[in-house]
Amino acid sequence: MTQSMEERRFVRLAGAVNAKAARLGLYGRINAVDLARIYVQSEGHCTYCGVGLDPLHCSFDHVIPFSRGRDDANTPANIVACCLTCQRSKATKTPDEYQQARVLMVDCEVCGTRFKPRWADWTRGYGRTCSRACSGKKGGEMTKSPTALTPGGQSDRA
């Protein structure tokens, strides 16, 4: 009996995820049936943005990333179906951090230009200027109190 294209894809994905988890010393295994069940539970939509998913092109994401050190990170309860765009942009963020990163907009401290900083820089206290040119004009100072804008474009400073 031959496998369908979807079955072959889910088998390959499960094998790759299990290999990565084993390399990182995390327990838990998933299989193609788990991935198919997760896809069906998502009703063919991305968990994060709601876009429609095709089983041959969808992706699966660990809600709590491997990098956060949970021993049970590679279990079906920690995996959701999502689009490739959301999976790649979420990277090692938690779902709450990912939602914050999606809407984060900042005013440059030097020129006032509104821009989207890199999440990794932002969480480390950097990413406060829109460009290297503005960073140079600032003189290399690093402040921890930028003007961040909420999704509606309002400043979070009162």
80 and 112 in a single domain? The answer is no
Q: Which residue has the tokens 């309002």?
A: 154
Give the CA radius of gyration of the chain: 20
The parent domain of residue 129 ranges over 104-144
Q: Is the pLDDT of residue 19 over 60?
A: yes
**Are residues 136 and 87 part of one domain?**
no
Q: Are residues 87 and 9 in the same domain?
A: yes
Task: Give the domain CATH number at 11.
Answer: 3.30.40.220
Give yes or no: residues 76 and 123 share one domain: no
Identify whether residues 57 and 79 lie together within a single domain. Answer: yes
- Rounded to 5 degrees, φ, ψ at 30 are -120, 165
Contacts of 76 (CB under 8 A, 6+ apart): 30, 34, 37, 38
Total structural domains within the chain: 2
| pLDDT tens profile 107-154 | 999 999 999 999 989 999 888 898 888 888 876 555 554 555 555 555
Tens digit of each residue's pLDDT (9 = 90 or more) over 30-60: 999 999 999 999 999 999 999 999 999 999 9
Is residue 49 located within the same domain as residue 123?
no
